[in-house]
């Protein structure tokens, strides 16, 4: 019997080879980073993202995620993470807490962690349908503190310039009061005396305490970033430095560039330089450089709750933080290396704390905070999106009658777990004037996590839209 043309061994071999090549071509990889300042919702976001993907074919509600809507998602599973020096993202622990009888929010995290997912899907179109049906996208997700990005501008400063910059912050009356113990100690230090490591360590600890106390009072522009979140550097001399006061800077004048050998001021200046080259730069070179896509979470509602100073400080911190995503030729990052993030999502987190008709205002408020920097980022060729999300939705919205009128309300559980129904208030579209804050306060509620009963899929707001923006082009 004659072999048909298509069954000829050479043709079979070529088909096999094409199949392999095509499979390799579609075996994509995305390195997604999630950041935000302390408490902005990074852990909740990644927990929900992993949960939505793993449960996507079960009961997850992802109507705007095209690969799910088109029934092309085959399955998602966790795989061994690529970077063995990062902590493993504690997804399982978070899910245990969220699904227990009295659900709790996942624990606060302090450093960098990672999770790898393998997403198996059916391709949507093209020649490849003859070659292979399925493809796999490898998704690495890294959680890192936004505070680390606040250190980027340090790379362009010397010790004297940085000290001057910190003094501007310290001149804020409230910050100045908080820094009382630090000022007393630093003013007693003889800069030109022989270097005293222990004395410097003690003053550095007072400076860290000042930053921590500022954070407790709602300030967010706190740097050096590792002073609050030292991770593996806790106790290391590289963190034992602090800014000099205006008076000290005037007394030293030009001498800061040529400090007395072995003096306190020489040690301080060396440590500052060491921090820049051995802590800040390596983060950008070893990790940040590898990220393809980035989510930045911003907790606008908590800043509104805390008052004008907190809101203004969040705005400043965001300005600093966004320097890391501006790739213009004069940027510090471009001079160091070429970063490659091509998609960036700014998400106002915890949008379940407000009623649905306020969500447009929340996005506008976020955009007003990002305005000029965002334009620059787009100009540099990064595609950006701003949105309002809830990673783990802890409220339901509805209508209630008040004096014969229907008003939008939220139903959820307060921090003690008791059921509450409330109208949390309006969200401004931009930062209100200082006078407004004197007369009125914002009181967006804190909520307990939702009761999951027998469910294992986390309720959310707009996680599917975020997933689609970040991954749809890699899942075709």
Ligand X SMILES: Nc1nc2c(ncn2[C@@H]2O[C@H](COP(=O)(O)OP(=O)(O)OP(=O)(O)O)[C@@H](O)[C@H]2O)c(=O)[nH]1
Nearest approach, Cβ of 168 to ligand X (angstroms)?
26
Of 40, 113, 163, 220, which lies in the binding site for ligand X, with binding defined by CB under 6 A?
40
Of 31, 51, 109, 465, which lies in the binding site for Mg ion, with binding defined by CB under 5 A?
109
Q: Which stretch binds Mg ion (CB under 5 A): 41-49, 179-187, 274-282, 340-348?
A: 41-49
Nearest approach, Cβ of 34 to ligand X (angstroms)?
9
Give 86 or 207: the residue with its C-beta nearer to Mg ion.
86
Give 135 or 297: the residue with its C-beta nearer to ligand X.
297
Give 43 or 302: the residue with its C-beta nearer to Mg ion.
43
Of 41, 153, 218, 424, which lies in the binding site for ligand X, with binding defined by CB under 6 A?
41
CB 382 within 8 A of CB 390: no
39: Cα separation from own chain's centroid: 10
Nearest approach, Cβ of 354 to ligand X (angstroms)?
10
Give the Cα-Cα-Cα angle 180, 108, 275 (nearest 5 degrees): 55
Q: Is residue 294 within the footprint of ligand X (CB under 6 A)? A: no
Q: Is residue 391 within the footprint of ligand X (CB under 6 A)? A: yes
Q: Is residue 318 within the footprint of ligand X (CB under 6 A)? A: no
Nearest approach, Cβ of 82 to ligand X (angstroms)?
21
Q: Is 384 helix (H, G, I), strand (E, B) or coil?
A: strand
Contacts of 225-229 spanning 24+ positions with Cβ under 8 A: 225/145, 225/147, 225/148, 225/149, 225/150, 225/151, 226/147, 226/148, 226/151, 226/275, 226/279, 228/38, 228/147, 229/38, 229/110, 229/111, 229/145, 229/147, 229/148
Q: Which stretch binds Mg ion (CB under 5 A): 40-48, 238-246, 250-258, 298-306?
A: 40-48
What residues numbered 69-128 form the site for ligand X, per CB under 6 A?
Answer: 105-106, 108-109
Q: Which stretch binds Mg ion (CB under 5 A): 103-111, 172-180, 293-301, 338-346?
A: 103-111
Please tell me the distance from the alpha carbon of residue 79 to that of residue 61, in angstroms, as a whole number: 24
Q: Is residue 419 within the footprint of ligand X (CB under 6 A)? A: no
CB 345 within 8 A of CB 464: no
CA-nearest of 297, 312, 311, 325 to 149 is: 325
CB 446 within 8 A of CB 325: no
Give 43 or 208: the residue with its C-beta nearer to ligand X.
43
Chosen from ligand X, Mg ion, none, partner binding at 51 (C-beta under 5 to 8 Å by type): none
State the SS3 of 76-122. Answer: EEEECCCCCCCEECCHHHHHHHHHCCCCCCCCCCCCCEEEEEEEEEE
- Site size toward Mg ion, by CB under 5 A: 3
Of 23, 28, 38, 289, which lies in the binding site for ligand X, with binding defined by CB under 6 A?
38
CB 361 within 8 A of CB 408: no
Give 43 or 142: the residue with its C-beta nearer to Mg ion.
43
Q: Is residue 394 within the footprint of ligand X (CB under 6 A)? A: yes
Buried b (16+ CB within 10 A) or exposed e, 79-98: eebeeeebeebbbeebbebb
Q: Which stretch binds Mg ion (CB under 5 A): 37-45, 122-130, 241-249, 339-347?
A: 37-45
Nearest approach, Cβ of 365 to ligand X (angstroms)?
17
Q: What is the DSSP secondary-structure string of 32-86?
A: EEEEESTTSSHHHHHHHHHHHHHTTTTT---TT-HHHHTT-EEEEEEE--S-TTS
CA-nearest of 451, 458, 452 to 417 is: 451
Tokens of 252: 């030293």
Tokens of 223: 């740097």
What residues numbered 431-450 form the site for ligand X, per CB under 6 A?
Answer: 447
C-alpha distances in Å from residue 275, one per residue of 34, 36, 242, 259 = 24, 22, 11, 18
Q: Which stretch binds Mg ion (CB under 5 A): 38-46, 154-162, 219-227, 410-418?
A: 38-46
Whether the link from the prior residue into 6 is cis, omega within 30° of 0, is: no
Q: Is residue 113 within the footprint of Mg ion (CB under 5 A)? A: no
What residues numbered 349-388 form the site for ligand X, per CB under 6 A?
Answer: 349-350, 352-353
Give 90 or 152: the residue with its C-beta nearer to ligand X.
90
Q: Is residue 459 within the footprint of ligand X (CB under 6 A)? A: no
**Element spanning 268, H or E:** helix 264-274
Give 67 or 149: the residue with its C-beta nearer to Mg ion.
149
Please tell me the distance from the alpha carbon of residue 87 to that of residue 293, in angstroms, as a whole number: 20
Chosen from Mg ion, ligand X, none, partner binding at 391 (C-beta under 5 to 8 Å by type): ligand X
Q: Which stretch binds Mg ion (CB under 5 A): 28-36, 107-115, 134-142, 286-294?
A: 107-115
Footprint of ligand X (CB under 6 A):
36, 38-44, 105-106, 108-109, 349-350, 352-353, 390-392, 394, 447
Footprint of Mg ion (CB under 5 A):
42-43, 109
């Amino acid at each position: 019997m004659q072999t048909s043309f298509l069954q000829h061994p050479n043709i079979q071999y070529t088909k096999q080879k094409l199949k392999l090549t095509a499979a390799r071509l579609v075996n994509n990889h995305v390195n997604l980073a999630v950041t935000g300042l302390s408490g902005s919702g990074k852990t909740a976001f990644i927990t929900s993202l992993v949960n939505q993907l793993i449960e996507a074919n079960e009961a997850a509600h992802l109507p705007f995620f095209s690969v799910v809507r088109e029934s092309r998602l085959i399955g998602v599973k966790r795989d061994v993470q690529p970077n063995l020096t990062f902590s493993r993202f504690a997804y399982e622990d978070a899910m245990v807490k969220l699904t227990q009888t009295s659900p709790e929010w996942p624990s606060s995290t302090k450093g960098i962690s990672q999770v790898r997912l393998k997403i198996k899907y059916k391709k949507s179109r093209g020649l490849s349908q003859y070659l292979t049906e399925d493809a796999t996208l490898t998704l690495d997700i890294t959680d890192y503190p936004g505070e680390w990005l606040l250190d980027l501008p340090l790379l362009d400063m010397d010790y004297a310039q940085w000290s001057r910059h910190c003094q501007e912050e310290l001149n804020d009356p409230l910050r100045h009061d908080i820094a009382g113990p630090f000022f007393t100690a630093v003013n007693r230090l003889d800069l030109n005396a022989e270097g005293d490591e222990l004395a410097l360590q003690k003053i550095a600890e007072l400076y860290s305490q000042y930053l921590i106390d500022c954070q407790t009072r709602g300030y967010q522009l706190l740097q050096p970033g590792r002073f609050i979140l030292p991770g593996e550097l806790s106790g290391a001399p590289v963190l034992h430095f602090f800014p000099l006061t205006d008076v000290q800077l005037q007394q030293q004048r030009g001498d800061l560039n040529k400090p007395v050998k072995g003096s306190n001021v020489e040690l301080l200046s060396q440590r500052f330089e060491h921090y820049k080259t051995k802590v800040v730069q390596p983060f950008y070179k070893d990790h940040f450089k590898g990220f393809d896509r980035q989510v930045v979470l911003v907790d606008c509602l908590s800043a509104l709750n805390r008052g004008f100073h907190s809101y203004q400080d969040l705005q400043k911190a965001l300005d600093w933080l966004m320097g890391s995503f501006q790739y213009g030729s004069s940027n510090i990052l471009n001079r160091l290396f070429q970063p490659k993030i091509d998609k960036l999502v700014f998400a106002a987190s915890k949008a379940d704390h407000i009623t649905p008709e306020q969500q447009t205002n929340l996005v506008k408020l976020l955009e007003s905070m990002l305005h000029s920097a965002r334009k620059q980022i787009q100009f540099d060729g990064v595609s950006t999106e701003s949105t309002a999300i809830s990673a783990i939705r802890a409220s339901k919205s509805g209508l209630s009658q008040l004096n014969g009128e229907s008003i939008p309300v939220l139903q959820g559980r307060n921090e003690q777990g008791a059921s509450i129904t409330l109208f949390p208030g309006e969200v401004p579209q931009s930062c209100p004037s200082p006078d407004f804050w004197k007369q009125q306060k914002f009181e967006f509620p804190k909520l307990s996590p939702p009761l999951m009963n027998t469910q294992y899929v986390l309720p959310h707001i707009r996680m599917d839209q975020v997933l689609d923006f970040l991954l749809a082009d890699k899942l075709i």
